[in-house]
A and B are shown apart, each in its own frame.
Chain A
Amino acid sequence: MSARPPGEARIGLRHGAGGPAMRGLVESLFAAGQREDAPDRIGLGALDDGALLRVGARWLVFTTDSHVVKPVFFPGGDIGRLAVSGTVNDLAMMGATEPLGLSCSVILEEGFEREALERIQASIDATCREAGTFVVTGDTKVMGRGELDGVVLNTAGIGFAERPVRDDGLRPGDRILVTGTLGDHGLAVMARRHDLGLGEELRSDVAPLNGLVRAALAAGGEAVVAMKDPTRGGVASALHEMAAKGGVGVLLQEAELPVRPAVRAAAELLGLDPLQVANEGKALLGVRPEAAKRVLEALQAHPLGRDARCIGVCTPERPGAVILDTGFGRRLVAEAEGELLPRIC
């Protein structure tokens, strides 16, 4: 029997943090026996935001996402809005901007307040209306007190993509666009979870992005070559994956990174890098250089894309690396390893 290194014998929080540990678990375990990608199927092995299944002449996108968040209600959103947006956005990142329908499974802890559940459902309903979709099937389970922390939601969704967009399409020269400010969700939740009293300016950005992405695809067409939503692990993890899969380096300009002053201040206070903090209402787009301006203007014309920016460019050098030009010098941008932990000094 091969000895596992200490700390690998059990699952740790890092295995769910969206970084290398999680990818390792998916690749070595979950996807290991499910690798038979075929011309009409792009599945788990691709580690994209969702699967692509050919149905007749069209591509059906299928994705699923489980949601746990503490607290369940946070500034700017709640677990219901998160669950709908998460799945709608994963579909949109593959090019399916008109979801056909969602499933929603609810797992509750005995004793969960009915009133809170009603608020969550109202939020699910409102977010579905915003995204132009419906929950069409679901499931309910209740577990004993202490067997679960409050509520877990799982959503899945399907939609057709006229032109599937993958996360591996970057080429040297492509521009990297982000649809708005970075780090809002992660810092808002962290500040509320730990009662940091950092003021009400920290609000989650959680939102369904399918309308915004539809506008970008309409403006850019074939020139939009890669998309990913920078959720857990933040922009750093998402760009690392896109750079590695595309075989390019990414050079970011720090001066162009849109970060709200309150988020910047809170991140500095906690010793966190906004590039590594989760977003729930933002997308990264890789766009051919000649279309970058056009797509950026289309994003900025949409209410959810007003703060969109071109933040970087793909280079042939250092494939897989993400480099930040700070204006002082350049450094590598690392992926967060495990849960984000604040520094002590």
Chain B
Amino acid sequence: MATISNNDIAQAIYLSSKDKSPHELSLVLKDVVNFLHRKRLLNKSKDILLKLNKIINQEKGVLMVKVSSAQKLHGHEKEEIEHLLKKRYHAHEILLEEHIDEKLFGGIRIEVEDEVIDLSLRNKINKLQEHLTRKV
């Protein structure tokens, strides 16, 4: 028998709780907790929740984006980034998570799931170093 991954469980929870009234939802969730308890999966609940979050975001077209920059971003910069990302990833909504990282020296670094667009100065300097120290 194939093992059931956390992702499968999250998918099942999502499908069973989709489009339910508040009353039904509370019953479903009770069942879910009972199921997890019975199958001794409560210690994995953190990961399952994370996966569930991902699935819901994907269904609703919400994109979690981590933006790191050396200085705080201005409002219009953020808008521009959101606009670009919406187009690139065909998302309805962008959830920006901002980080200040002085080690970037300048520019920004955008992380979307496992894709990274590194437009920081530090990355450019690293690339220059690679270029200058490459073996000819």
Q: Does chain A bind chain B?
A: no
Residues of B within 8 A of A (CB): none
